[in-house]
Amino acid sequence: MPKKLEVKSFNSPDEVRTFEKGKLELVRVGRATVGRAVLEPGWKWSEHVKPIAKTKSCKAPHFQYHVSGIMHIVMDDGTERDVKAGEVSSLLPGHDAWVVGNEPAIVVDFQGMVDYAKQSTRRK
């Protein structure tokens, strides 16, 4: 039987994935997985996560709240935008992103972090 009340904290995440210039903390609440990404200045998906994902662009969908910093997002179709603290963004698969400026970008993602920055166990 599911719990009627469940509370988790990013202060003690269920899982932490680290990669160059960033980390992802995951909490599992009920049937949902929520991720908090802390991305340092100089982080860029195509440089720091692409070697892990082994895809041309990020294929994870994201529905995220931007806690701090600025991220520049470029969709595969060329659409681009800076997203700032206090904003909520929804991204379909097929994009690149990077931190703008000298402040870390912190985002809380409610959709696309289950397999994000996870080493593939498939053999080539």
Does residue 57 contact residue 46 with C-beta atoms inside 8 Å? yes
**Euclidean distance between CA atoms 32 and 42, whole angstroms:** 30
Q: What is the pLDDT of residue 3?
A: 73
Is 84 contained in some domain? yes
Is 69 contained in some domain? yes
Is 77 contained in some domain? yes
Q: How far is CA 94 from the centre of its chain?
A: 14
Q: Domain of 74: which CATH number?
A: 2.60.120.10
pLDDT tens-place string over residues 43-99: 999 999 999 999 999 999 999 999 999 999 999 999 999 999 999 999 999 999 999
Does residue 81 contact residue 90 with C-beta atoms inside 8 Å? no
Residue 108 corresponds to which amino acid? V
What's the predicted TM-score (pTM) here?
Answer: 0.87
Does residue 110 contact residue 32 with C-beta atoms inside 8 Å? yes
**Euclidean distance between CA atoms 25 and 72, whole angstroms:** 21
Is the model's pLDDT at 1 over the cut of 80?
no
> What is the domain count for the chain?
1
pLDDT tens-place string over residues 94-122: 999 999 999 999 999 998 777 777 764 44
∠ CA 54-64-17, nearest 5°, is 45
Is 6 contained in some domain? no
Is the model's pLDDT at 31 over the cut of 70?
yes
Domain residue limits at 69: 15-109
